[in-house]
Structure 1
C-alpha cells in the first residue's frame, strides 16, 4: 500500500503562468491525482484587513473569491472546475491552504489583527473548494518568542473553530512548535487540532531528523498526539526547486523505513512542472509519489478525527 500522506506544496497552483502555464492546468490536476494524497495550496498571504492573496494575486476579499475578468488579473476563473477535477475520484483526498513563507511573518500579524474577516475568507475557500485544513508556514527571521507562540496558538484555535484541521511546517525551533502543540491541546479541551508537522528537510532545514522531532513531540508532555513518528512528515525539494529526482527521493525515504514515519511531502509543484515541460514529460508527481511509497514501504494510515 502507499504511504500517507504524500503531500505536495502546490506553488501558485492553477494560477502561476495564467493563462498559459508550462503544463496545462487540466494536465496538472490529472497528474496530481495519480499518487498525491494531499495538495497544499501555497502560498496564501494575508494583507491588512484580512484579504487573502495567492502569492501576488488577490484571491478572497469580503468573504468572496475574486476571479479575473480580463484574462490577466485576479484568480483563474477556471479554478472551481480544476479543483473539482482534482478532488474527483483519484488519489487526492485533501486540499489545504498554506499561509506564510520565508520572510512573511506579516501574514500572521495581519491575520491576528483581522481574525473575523480572515475566518470569513477562509470559510469562502471551504465553500468554494472544499478546503479541509490550513498549513502554518511561519518562518521568523529574528527568533521565536512567547508572543509568537501565543499568536500561532490563537490562530490555530480559529482554524479549529471553522471545523478545519491545521498542519505546521517547521524547519527549526523544536521547542517553539511543540509548545504550540501543548498549548493548543490544553486550550481546546484536550483535543488536538494539528494533524501533522510538515518538517522541512531542505534549505534552512537541511539535516533535520524526523525521528529527533518525533522524540521532541513525545517529550513535550500532553499534546494529544498518539503516534509521534507518523505525526512527523518529512519533505524534500524536487528537481527544478534546487532538489533531486525520484531515484534519490526513494533512496532518501529508505533511510526512514521502519522508523514509524509513514509519509512525506514534496517541495514544490512549480519545480515539477518546469522540469516536466523541458524534460519530455518526466518526471511527474506520480514518479515522486511512487518513490516516497517505495522508499518507506509504509502502510497507509487513516487520519485521526479532529475534535475542534
Structure 2
C-alpha cells in the first residue's frame, strides 16, 4: 500500500520564475499528480481585518478571490486556473491545505484572532473556489510558547473545525505546547479531534527532531482523541535545492521509520524541486521523492483514520 500522506509545501507554487518558470506550470501540476497526495499552499499571511495574502500578494478579501485578477501585481494570472487543474487532474493529489504562518510571523495568528468572522469568510472562498480541505498551523514563536498562545491556537483550530475543515499542525519545537493544544481542542470540541496530523519539521531548526519521540509524547498525553500516535506524526525533510537531499537519501531516511507505525511524510519544498529539476535534466521530480518515501516506509503504510471535525 502506498504511503499517506505524501505532502509537499508549495512554496512559490505556479509563481516561481513568472513568466518564465524553471518547469512549465502545467507540467508542475501534472508532476504533482504523479505521486503527491497532499499539496500545502505556503504561506498564507493574515493582515488586519482578516485579508489573506499569499506570500506578499493579496489573495482573498471580503470573501472574494483577488489574487492575480488586476493584471498589474506581477503574479501569474493563471494561478487560480492552475490550482483548479491540480485538484481536478484525476491523479494522486487529493488534499489541498493552506498553511498560515512561517518563522517570525506570529502576527498572522493575532490578526486572525482579531478578525475571526472575516477570516472564516475568506477561507470559505478558498474552499468554494479551489476545494481547500484543511488549514496548516505553522506557528513559530520567537519568544516562547505561552498559555495565551495555546488558547489562541485552540480557538482558531476550533474555527477551522466549525467550517467542516481539518487542521494540521507544523511544529519544530515545544512538544508539550502542541500536545496541550491537542488535548484542549478535543475537550472543547465535544471529544472530537479537529487536527488530522502533525507535519513535524525535521530540517533547519527541527533538524534534531525524532518522529518517534513526538509520537511517544502524543501517546503519553491523555484525552487527545488521537488513536494512532505513530501515524499522527508526519515527518518532513528538505529536498535538494532547499538545503536538503535527494530521493536516494530520502528513501534511506524513511527506511529508518519502517515498522514504527509512521505512515507518511512531507517534502520541503516545491521551489527546491523545480530548481534542481530544471538544472538536472528533468530529475528528480516530485514523483521520485514520493516513491522514495513509499519505498522507505515499505509495507507499514495504512489508511489514515477519518477525523470528525
Q: Normalization by structure 1: what TM-score? A: 0.97
- Residue aligning to 1:34: 34
| Alignment CA distance shift 1:148-1:255 (3 Å) | same
Contact conserved, 2:10 with 2:40, CA < 8 A, in 1?
yes
- Residue aligning to 2:243: 242
Q: C-alpha distance in 2, partners of 1:71/1:28?
A: 22
Q: C-alpha distance in 1, partners of 2:278/2:211?
A: 32
- Residue aligning to 2:263: 262
Gaps of 5+ in 2: none
Contact conserved, 1:58 with 1:74, CA < 8 A, in 2?
no
Q: C-alpha distance in 1, partners of 2:27/2:225?
A: 39
- Secondary structure at 1:297's aligned position in 2? helix
Q: C-alpha distance in 1, partners of 2:24/2:54?
A: 19
Q: Which moved more, 1:269-278 or 1:61-70?
A: 61-70
Q: Does 1:7 align with 2:2?
A: no
- Secondary structure at 2:93's aligned position in 1? coil
Q: C-alpha distance in 2, partners of 1:209/1:116?
A: 37
- Secondary structure at 2:258's aligned position in 1? coil
* Alignment map for 1:71-86 (pairs within 5 Å): 71-73=71-73, 76-86=76-86
| Alignment CA distance shift 1:162-1:75 (3 Å) | farther
Q: CA RMSD, aligned part only?
A: 1.3
- Residue aligning to 2:194: 193
Equivalenced residue count is 308
Contact conserved, 2:200 with 2:235, CA < 8 A, in 1?
yes
- Residue aligning to 2:141: 140
- Secondary structure at 1:7's aligned position in 2? strand
Gaps of 5+ in 1: none
Report the CA distance between 1:74 and its aligned residue: 6.8
Runs of 4+ with deviation above 6 angstroms:
none
